[in-house]
């Protein structure tokens, strides 16, 4: 088991006064079979006029805020302590291949299994994920008849990692996935969207995972405060019994997530699980300033 302290600080400086604001926050870690949140604190400046905690349509913890007083900035400080258990699958050769899974998920005049029904919501297009022939063609050589979906997904992850370059200046939140495919550059969010689009184009449900990744400082140097960032990876529906329906893949780092990945939320794509999302009345040009620190508790 790994235990972490995570500090996620976000500040908006609006330039001009904002008279009204409503925000939706995905900042509390999700409870999972392999993860539990020991404690969570959320500090806000200014204090909201109204706040409510609940769950979104995907079962993620979410907090809704409303600010009714004029303000020119918003400071959000989320602090959490999280336990993460090992959950990397021991084998990737188990479970159905692509064609068998597609047949299993096809419409029939009978009630599907609950897990299959829940997975189908991650099979279709979403705001940041298109399903196009170009994406199916790019992933086609990763799928071998008779080979498990898990093994094929790993090959796709390896292909993306080998052929795409990490470049934080190449894309924005709104960059279309087909543009990422053409330019072969981007960040973790782009690679997650691309892999999800390729999988869905092959008829395989895949969801967007949002959270944090433990990064190690150079040898002999201390861990820098605020130097980390939110991370994104992919979860693939590849049922193989024993409760292992979903398997995670990280195309940015070419690995299967385990105890160094902390899960905040999952959804169809980034738009479902943005850490902070909202609307404001007033203000000027602004960009968020975000600082994240992930620290193992042994430190």
pLDDT of residue 22: 97
pLDDT of residue 108: 78
pLDDT of residue 110: 76
**CA-CA distance, 185 to 174, in Å (whole number)?**
14
Nearest to 36 by CA among 2, 82, 5: 82
94, 99, 101, 104: CA torsion to nearest 10: -130
Within the chain, residue ranges assigned H as helices are: 98-105, 114-119, 133-139, 149-163, 177-183, 188-201, 270-273
pLDDT at 180 over 80: yes
149 pLDDT band, cuts 50/70/90, is very high
pLDDT at 235 over 70: yes
Give the CA count within 13 Å in the CB-facing half-sphere of 290. Answer: 13
70 pLDDT band, cuts 50/70/90, is very high
| Residue entry with tokens 């980034």 | 270
98-272 shares the fold of 2-85+274-296: no
| In the chain, domain spans | 2-85+274-296, 98-272
pLDDT of residue 216: 78
Average pLDDT over residues 18-45: 96
pLDDT at 148 over 90: yes
How does DSSP classify residue 79? E
Fold (topology level) of 98-272: C8orf32 fold (3.10.620)
**CA-CA distance, 116 to 93, in Å (whole number)?**
20
Average pLDDT over residues 1-7: 95
Residue 125 vs residues 108, 193, 242, 298, 299: alpha-carbon distances, Å: 21, 11, 29, 42, 43
pLDDT of residue 220: 73
Non-local (6+) Cβ contacts of 237 within 8 A are 101, 119, 122, 149, 204, 205, 206, 207, 245, 246
**CA-CA distance, 226 to 219, in Å (whole number)?**
18
pLDDT at 109 over 80: no
**CA-CA distance, 87 to 49, in Å (whole number)?**
41
pLDDT at 299 over 70: no
229 pLDDT band, cuts 50/70/90, is confident
pLDDT of residue 226: 58
54 pLDDT band, cuts 50/70/90, is very high
Average pLDDT over residues 158-175: 94
pLDDT in tens, 252-293: 999 999 999 999 999 999 999 999 999 999 988 888 899 999
* Percentage of the chain modeled with pLDDT above 70: 97
Q: Write out the H or E segment, with its range, that includes residue 211.
A: strand 206-213
298 pLDDT band, cuts 50/70/90, is confident
CATH architecture of the domain covering 2-85+274-296: Sandwich (2.60)
Which of 72-81, 109-118, 132-141 is least confident?
109-118
| Average pLDDT of the chain, as a whole number | 93
């Amino acid at each position: 088991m790994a235990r972490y302290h995570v500090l996620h600080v976000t500040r908006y400086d609006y330039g001009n006064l904002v008279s009204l604001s409503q925000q939706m926050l995905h900042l509390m870690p999700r409870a999972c079979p392999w993860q539990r949140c020991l404690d969570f604190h959320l500090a806000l400046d200014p204090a909201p006029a109204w706040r409510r905690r609940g769950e979104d349509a995907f079962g993620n913890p979410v907090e809704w805020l409303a600010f009714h007083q004029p303000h020119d900035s918003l400071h959000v400080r989320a602090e959490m302590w999280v336990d993460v258990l090992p959950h990397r699958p021991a084998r990737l050769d188990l479970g159905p291949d692509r064609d068998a899974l597609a047949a299993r998920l096809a419409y029939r005049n009978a009630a599907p299994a609950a897990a299959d029904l829940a997975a189908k919501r991650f099979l279709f297009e979403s705001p940041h994920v298109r399903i196009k022939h170009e994406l199916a063609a790019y992933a086609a050589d990763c799928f071998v008849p008779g080979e498990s979906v898990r093994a094929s997904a790993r090959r796709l992850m390896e292909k993306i990692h080998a052929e795409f370059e990490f470049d934080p200046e190449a894309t924005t939140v709104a960059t279309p996935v087909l543009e990422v495919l053409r330019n072969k550059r981007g960040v973790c969010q782009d690679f997650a969207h691309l892999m999800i689009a390729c999988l869905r184009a092959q008829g395989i449900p895949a969801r967007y995972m949002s959270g944090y990744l433990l990064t190690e400082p150079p040898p002999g140097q201390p861990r820098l405060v605020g130097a980390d960032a939110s991370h994104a990876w992919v979860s693939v529906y590849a049922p193989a019994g024993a409760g292992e329906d979903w398997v995670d893949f990280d195309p940015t780092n070419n690995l299967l997530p385990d105890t160094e990945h902390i899960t905040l939320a999952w959804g169809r794509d980034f738009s479902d699980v943005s850490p902070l999302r909202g609307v404001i009345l007033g203000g000027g040009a602004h960009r968020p300033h975000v600082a994240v620190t992930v620290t193992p508790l042994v430190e």
